[in-house]
A = this chain, B = another copy of it.
Amino acid sequence: MPGMMIKELKAPLELTETELGELKPGYAKVSLKAAALNHRDYWITQGLYPGIELPKVLGSDGAGIVAEVGDSGDQPWVGKEVIINPGWDWGTSEATQSSEFTILGMPHNGTFATEILAPVEMLRERPKHLSWEEAAALPLAGVTAFRATMSQGQLRPGEKVLISGVGGGVATFALQFAVAAGAEVAVTSSSEAKIAAAKELGAVAGFNYREEGWQKNAAQSFGRPNLIIDSAAGKGYANLVELAAPGGRIVNYGATTGPPEKVDMFKLFWNQLKLIGSTMGSPADFRGMLDLVDRHQIKPVIDQVFSLAQANEALARMEKGEQFGKIVLRI
């Protein structure tokens, strides 16, 4: 089976013929039609991720057709068009993942390949309104956005939501999910083009976070958000704490610009704020995400489609950070 493998850090992936391995009971062999990139893939290539084992096939997101199911497995799955929940062994608590939790694509071989082995219980039928590329774009970023916005963020209809740094896969899904859930949504970006694209998806306002005092402008023209979804943290976090409405929640699913310089604890307790961490999601989050996508016929935003062999070009596009929506590999 050919797959785009990471063989050493900070080097291009290599298209390599590799063994798929044994099809164990409870597992399915899926013929992949499309895969999608996540920042995680890029970070792994740079060695910026815990628990890297080499060589591996990269990739957390995939969609395809079930070719075969292991011995005692659920045979009706054979022939079905599926996406794969990339969050394996979450465990039994909704509050947090177990210590066995892993994300598809490291240390398991991932989706940048023509075939993959995955537990049958991680399969879900492909949403019927989505193309292969759209379906592959959904899993990791979709479940992360759903957990951040709904399960951890507890979004309620009619609330004001701010999505910071729109353009990335999770932020774009968070925007779409919040709009679908009946929120009034604003975004931030350093790119006017991304703000314009977010407005096409239903954002009612956009602010350039490079402009000094943007948060005061946002408070005045949009209002103070009940929920903020952020993955940057860093120096700009203080603006979010200042901007959040009393009783508001700030959910972080990442901290790409490092830890906040200082957190204003007086604002935290007097404004009754909640600063919430979130990552990936449980099987229940994954089902909830698919329900929401189905109910509102949400289509993932595709930034650009590459071939499997072009995975390095796809990673280079992600590194530049110019994308709006998901970068996809057609297999």
Q: A residues bordering B, Cβ < 8 Å?
A: 93, 95-97, 152, 233, 245-247, 252-255, 258-279
Contacts and interface: CB of A to CB of B under 8 A. Distances in A.
Given A270-B279, A277-B271, A262 B259 contact: yes
A259 B252 contact: no
Can you tell how many copies of this chain the complex includes? 2
Given A97-B272, A272-B279, 6 more contacts: A96-B271, A233-B265, A253-B269, A255-B269, A259-B263, A275-B275
Q: Is the interface of A mostly helix, strand, loop or mixed?
A: loop
A274 B276 contact: yes
Contacts of A279: 269-270, 272
Given A252-B265, A252-B269, A254-B269, A247 B95 contact: yes
Q: Which of A270, A272, A275 has the most CB of B within 10 A?
A: A272
Contacts of A270: 277, 279
A269 B264 contact: no
Nearest to A261: B262
A17 B152 CA distance: 54
- The 9 A-B pairs at the shortest CB distance, nearest first, are namely A95-B247, A255-B265, A96-B247, A268-B277, A269-B277, A96-B246, A275-B275, A96-B272, A233-B265
Contacts of A254: 265, 269
Nearest to A148: B269
Contacts of A264: 259
A281 B267 CA distance: 16
